[in-house]
């Protein structure tokens, strides 16, 4: 799956969405003018005998412009309100649907299993672990990913999906949702939800007027014409809302269907197990509740879900392809039979996790982390079967996974990665000054344990801690961020790993607390040539081969003339500014940049852990998954 091209397609779909939305608004404006003209004719005494020409003659150009402006203003205000609300992050969307955040230390076996799966796929995708939400009251098998960017994304799963699906099947469903995060679908989906709410809002106004007119008619028999006119206007606006709803359904269907096929395919890429997503779809076909979701907002946000949230008698308005077609795409040899799985009502009640929860977590951290990017899961292992931790991270793995799930532990792990024996007094003094009870001892312990942690394990450990750090309050985050700076400055210099750590924390957590946003500004590489030269030059200095030769190999990938900056221009501060500018490039440019960086790193026929960590950090900061050639080079260098 080419996520980079899909991001570009998603951006083009945004233009298509804008065009369809504009046409829908124009239709609603015309219909509103026609209905109001009829309503004025009716209330003016012509009654049912008023024809359309006479009614329209009552509206002059000025009145038409005023009505049109009012309609567009109302629609625009509703769209803006919902866009601002949804842009607060995936958390706001999922909570509006009744989702509940899964506690980092949950003792529910199914929730713990789902958390482990989310962590594993995050490591495979080289992105921070998104918070997991559960929709407790939903028996149907469904899931969704919501957010504007990978930094504020969340994954939500219904209780029915957690309980009814095996580990492989749930992994396939969650992998499907991760593709929506990486290929740019989420931003498009949020815009779609906000725009369509504006289209259907006119119908809500009509419903209010109908109820109001009905109450007035009951209370008083006088001024019948005024009351009748109010009812006619309400009915007209309600009917316009229904037409708007039909157009909204058509737009959702046109935008969403093809994306579901692509997400199913990318789920196979993440899990390397086509039976996972394939069997999940077959279970849905044989499961009585199917993918139904009963929460009030489900229909409005139906295009965000894994499966159809309501029954559709007319597939023209379906937001998802037919189940049979989706199955055949991932399993061409399917015999047409679904998997019959009866609802397990007892399992819908949360149960405590046993020792398998910790064993599964150890397995995830000890297999996914050394691979640094790739998942190697035993598809035959079920979540209820204890799995031995790999010897590469013996006892430390279990404690790391537990500490990463608690705010205090996550802070200690991140600070522990910056621990230096020769500056520990300065660092501990900074912790003591921060006055966070219990943190001082944890930081000292983590610092000593993580000093010799392999470079390729450091970045995944940071990504593992980020969702827990999102649960901090704003004052706590400011204190923690200042602690990071104090730890980095303790030895009087900043190295590239310290830059990576701080930039990752800032990039993924700042939007949670200070509402920062990154927008694509640069459509050509020539616009960021200086930043590209600094990024390639900094990486070229880390290799064993000649710096100029390595730098030039990257410039050839970019197919543009670049000059290697002087050594004094390749400091960490300049490098940080360069990467900040690369964040604003368009998606297809970002993949070219990462390929150029990989070419520089492998110029000496091997990609060191330090080089790979730096490239992965840049990829994470610019919100771009690593291309396949980077993954292959990383594997060959092992």
User: Which of the residues are catalytic?
Assistant: 177
Give, as one character, the DSSP assignment of residue 102.
P
Euclidean distance between CA atoms 345 and 461, whole angstroms: 37
- Whether the CA torsion 584, 585, 591, 593 is positive or negative: it is negative
Which tokens go with 133?
Answer: 């939400």
For the beta carbon of residue 460, count every other beta carbon within 10 angstroms: 23
Structure-derived torsion over alpha carbons of residues 391, 392, 396, 401, reported in degrees to the nearest 10? -100
- Map 226-292 to HEC letters: HHHHHHHHHHHHHHHHHHHHHHHHHHHHHHHHHHHHHHHHHHHHHHCCHHHHHHHHHHHHHCCCCCC
Burial of 529 (0-12, 13-18, 19+ CB in 10 A): middle
Q: Which of 109, 116, 132 is CA-nearest to residue 362?
A: 116
Token pair of 379, please? 């598809």
Q: Which residues, other chains included, contact 529 with Cβ-Cβ below 8 Å and sequence gap of 6+?
A: 560, 562
Strands 143-146 and 100-101, bridge-based pairing: unpaired
**Exposure of 542 by Cβ count < 10 A (0-12 exposed, 13-18 middle, 19+ buried)?**
middle
SS3 134: strand
Neighbours of 26 (CB within 10 A): 12
For the chain, what is the total number of helices (H) and then of strands (E)? 25, 4
Q: What are the DSSP calls for 382-450, one per residue?
A: -TTS--PPPTTSHHHHHHHHHHTTSHHHHHHHHHHTT--GGGHHHHHHHHHHHT-TTHHHHHHHHHHHH
Write out 6-54 in H/E/C secondary structure.
HHHHHHHHHHHHHHHHHHHHHHHHHHHHHHHHHHHHHHHHHHHHCCHHH
Tokens found for residue 328: 């055949």
- The contacts of residue 63 (CB under 8 Å, 6+ apart) are none
Report the alpha-carbon distance of residue 497 to residue 572 in Å, rounded: 10
CA-based nearest residue to 181, from 110, 90, 242, 249: 90
Q: Residue 241 is encoded by which pair of tokens? A: 């809302």
Question: 591: which 2 tokens?
Answer: 């993949």
Q: What angle do CA 301, 307, 312 make, to 5 degrees?
A: 80
Residues 6+ apart with CB under 8 A from 200: 241, 244, 245, 248, 300
CA distances from 22 to 192, 357, 615 (A): 12, 51, 41
Quick one: tokens of 170? 């749930």
Q: Three-class SS string for 496-529?
A: HHHHHHHHHHHHHHHHHHHCCCCCCCECCHHHHH
**Consecutive H or E run containing 146:** strand 143-146
């Amino acid at each position: 799956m080419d996520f980079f091209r899909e991001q570009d397609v998603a951006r083009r779909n945004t233009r298509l969405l804008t065009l369809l939305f504009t046409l829908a608004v124009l239709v609603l404006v015309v219909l509103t003018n026609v209905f109001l003209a009829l309503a004025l004719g009716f209330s003016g005494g012509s009654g049912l005998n008023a024809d359309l020409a006479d009614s329209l003659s009552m509206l002059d150009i000025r009145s038409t412009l005023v009505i049109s402006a009012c309609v567009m203003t109302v629609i625009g205000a509703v769209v803006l309100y919902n866009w601002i609300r949804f842009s607060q992050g995936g958390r706001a969307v999922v909570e509006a649907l009744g989702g509940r955040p899964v506690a980092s230390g949950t003792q529910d076996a199914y929730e713990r299993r789902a958390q482990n799966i989310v962590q594993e796929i995050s490591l495979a995708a080289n992105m921070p672990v998104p918070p997991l939400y559960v929709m407790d009251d939903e028996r149907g098998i469904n899931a969704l990913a919501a957010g504007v960017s990978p930094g504020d994304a969340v994954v939500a799963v219904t209780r029915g999906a957690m309980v009814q699906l095996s580990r492989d099947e749930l992994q396939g469903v969650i992998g499907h949702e991760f593709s929506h995060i990486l290929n740019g679908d989420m931003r498009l989906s949020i815009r779609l939800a906000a725009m369509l709410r504006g289209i259907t809002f006119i119908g809500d106004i009509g419903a209010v007027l109908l109820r109001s007119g009905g109450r007035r008619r009951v209370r008083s028999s006088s001024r019948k014409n005024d009351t009748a006119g109010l009812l006619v206007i309400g009915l007209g606006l309600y009917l316009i809302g229904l037409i708007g709803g039909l157009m909204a359904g058509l737009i959702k269907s046109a935008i969403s269907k093809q994306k579901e096929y692509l997400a199913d395919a990318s789920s196979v890429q993440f899990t390397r197990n086509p039976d996972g997503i394939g069997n999940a779809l077959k279970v849905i076909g044989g499961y009585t509740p199917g993918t139904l979701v009963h929460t009030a907002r489900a229909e409005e946000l139906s295009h965000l879900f894994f499966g159809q949230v309501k029954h559709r008698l007319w597939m023209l308005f379906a937001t998802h392809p037919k189940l049979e077609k989706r199955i055949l795409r991932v399993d061409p040899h399917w015999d047409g039979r679904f998997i019959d799985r009866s609802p397990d009502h007892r399992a819908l009640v949360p149960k405590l996790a046993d020792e398998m929860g910790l064993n599964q977590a150890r397995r995830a951290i000890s297999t996914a982390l050394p691979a640094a990017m790739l998942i190697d899961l035993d598809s035959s292992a079920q979540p209820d079967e204890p799995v031995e931790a790999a010897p590469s991270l013996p006892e430390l793995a279990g404690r790391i996974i537990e500490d990463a799930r608690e705010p205090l532990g996550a802070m200690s792990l991140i600070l522990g990665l910056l621990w230096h024996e020769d500056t520990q007094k300065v660092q501990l003094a900074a912790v003591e000054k921060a006055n966070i009870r219990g943190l001082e001892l944890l930081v000292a312990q983590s610092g000593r344990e993580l000093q010799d942690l392999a470079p390729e394990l450091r970045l995944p450990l940071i990504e593992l801690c980020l969702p827990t750090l999102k649960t901090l309050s704003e004052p706590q985050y400011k204190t923690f961020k200042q602690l990071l700076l104090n730890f980095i400055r303790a030895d009087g210099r900043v190295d590239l790993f310290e830059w990576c750590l701080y930039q990752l924390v800032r990039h993924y957590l700042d939007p949670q607390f200070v509402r920062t946003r990154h927008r694509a500004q640069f459509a050509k590489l020539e616009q960021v040539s200086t930043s590209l030269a600094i990024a390639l030059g900094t990486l070229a200095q880390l290799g064993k081969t000649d710096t100029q030769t390595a730098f030039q190999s990257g410039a050839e990938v970019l197919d543009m003339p670049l000059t290697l900056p002087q050594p004094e221009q390749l400091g960490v501060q300049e490098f940080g500014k360069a990467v900040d500018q690369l964040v604003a490039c368009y998606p297809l440019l970002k993949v070219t940049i990462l390929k150029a960086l990989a070419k520089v790193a492998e110029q000496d026929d091997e990609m060191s852990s330090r080089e790979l960590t730096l490239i992965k950090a840049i990829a994470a900061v610019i919100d771009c998954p690593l291309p396949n050639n980077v993954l292959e080079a990383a594997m060959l260098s092992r």
